[in-house]
Amino acid sequence: MATPTEHLVSVDGSGVRFPCAEGDTLLRAALRGGVGLGYECNSGSCGSCRYELLEGEVYDRRPDAPGLSARDRRKGRRLACQSEPLTDCRVKVGPTTEVATHRPIRQAAELRSVTPLTHDMSEFVFAADTHAGFRPGQYAMIMLPDGQVERAYSMSNIGNCYGEWKFVIKRTPDGQATSILFDKLEVGATVVLDGPYGHAFLRDRENQNIACVGGGSGLGAMVSIVLGAAALPDAGAWTVHLFCGGRTERDIHVPEPVAIAGRRLGALHVHTAVSDAGPDTVAGPHFAGFLHDAVLDRLAGSLTDFTYYAAGPPAMTDALARALVLDAGLEADRLHFDRFC
Ligand SMILES: Cc1cc2nc3c(=O)[nH]c(=O)nc-3n(C[C@H](O)[C@H](O)[C@H](O)COP(=O)(O)OP(=O)(O)OC[C@H]3O[C@@H](n4cnc5c(N)ncnc54)[C@H](O)[C@@H]3O)c2cc1C
Ligand code: FES
């Protein structure tokens, strides 16, 4: 039964129903209710959450969202991550997916510290009142104090009972959210955290040989996966390869907790790659080339032995998926990533 400030959403042909609070999106309400609608970015860009509205009315948060093509719009398709139901609704969705253990919640969180890691990347630490429930590799939506700008950021720590959420954030030149985060948000400021979201979390009962591939802004998510594997009771049986990449040497940073995690893991190998190595820039100790090429080079001969977790710019995750799944024959369900678009 929906309350007066909620609308009821029925999934056509399935008998599944869930309430959606006023102002919430169809996607987030489904996940809060334990219904696994398909999605990736939660930001209107990837198109994975397309659905059809059969009855009812919704408000579209981002009418020009790139996740819908002109053909989608002609066919009346919408994005569940951008639709706020205004009435009870009946919807037609694609196949439902696995739901992560923690259902997303919205809560206030205070900025506790900002620590620069490279020339354009910093670690932001937030504290909330309740425990930080998420799986390694997931992300949260951060709504900045003006209430207008919300973006997805991956946690760089692991779930904990003291409400600590850490993020490694890369500045986007003239970016709306990162300009506020880096230039205006002061320690003590309050944001709204909504999460966790994301499917690219550590599968802790599967393959103990894993490769974590983090390009630029994807570093935090991969650090979380490494820390998550190191915290498992059978950590000593895990072999982890961590790949970190950037354009030049000044983009490369391997956070300190990774080395500490290495002491608990059976084996930890850290590989770094710089894509702009050339006559004027030296690769130094790093692999010279793109991050997916570093993976192919360093794991040559055993590529299909691993389960892969990846995070970073879509060009990187797409290139990795092509190289591993299409060219090397890796089973698609052994590569996990949420597109950062
Ligand atoms: C799943 C996921 C995880 C991510 N994790 C990290 C991370 O750990 N570290 C990191 O540095 N970056 C991460 N990002 C990227 C981050 O969300 C921002 O896109 C990035 O910080 C640039 O934001 P900006 O506002 O500064 O730049 P801008 O150039 O102003 O904004 C561009 C981005 O904002 C999105 N956007 C534009 N309008 C809207 C809107 N109305 N609602 C929602 N989104 C909108 C666009 O799709 C685009 O991705 C992640 C992205 C995704 C999807
Ligand atoms: S467009 Fe909705 S999840 Fe990416």
Write down the pLDDT at residue 227: 98
Q: Is residue 233 part of a domain?
A: yes
User: Which structural domain range is residue 40 located in?
Assistant: 6-92
Q: Is residue 204 part of a domain?
A: no
Report how far ligand 1's centroid is from the alpha carbon of 141 (Å).
Answer: 10
* Chosen domain end from 71, 92, 113: 92
The total of structural domains in the chain comes to 3
- DSSP run (H or E) holding 297: helix 291-298
Write down the pLDDT at residue 100: 66
Pocket residue to mutate for ligand 2, from 48, 199, 317, 338, most atoms within 8 A of Cβ: 48
Phi, psi of 316 (to 5 degrees): -75, -45
Find the radius of gyration of the CA atoms of the chain: 20
What CATH number has the domain bearing residue 57?
3.10.20.30
Closest to 288 (Cα-Cα) out of 298, 274, 300, 278: 274
Pocket residue to mutate for ligand 2, from 58, 79, 83, most atoms within 8 A of Cβ: 79
Residues in CB range of 317: below 8 A, 6 or more apart: 215, 218, 310, 311, 337, 339, 340
* First vs last C-alpha separation in the chain: 36
Pocket residue to mutate for ligand 2, from 45, 83, 91, 337, most atoms within 8 A of Cβ: 45
Q: Are residues 292 and 262 in the same domain?
A: yes
Does residue 182 have its Cβ closer than 6 Å to ligand 1?
no
What CATH number has the domain bearing residue 184?
2.40.30.10
Does residue 141 have its Cβ closer than 6 Å to ligand 2?
no
DSSP conformational letter for 251? G
Q: Are residues 128 and 218 in the same domain?
A: no
Q: Is residue 118 part of a domain?
A: yes
* Chosen domain end from 92, 127, 160: 92
Q: Is residue 305 part of a domain?
A: yes
Write down the pLDDT at residue 4: 61
Q: Is residue 231 part of a domain?
A: yes
- DSSP run (H or E) holding 214: strand 209-215
* Chosen domain end from 135, 165, 197: 197
Q: What is the DSSP string of 5-17?
A: TEEEEEETTT--E
pLDDT digits (tens, 9 = 90+) for 243-299: 999 999 999 999 999 999 999 999 999 999 999 876 655 567 899 999 999 999 999
In which residue ranges of the chain is pLDDT below 70?
Answer: 1-4, 98, 100, 278-283
Q: Are residues 297 and 237 in the same domain?
A: yes
Report how far ligand 2's centroid is from the alpha carbon of 44 (Å).
Answer: 4
Q: Is residue 203 part of a domain?
A: no
Q: Is residue 126 part of a domain?
A: yes
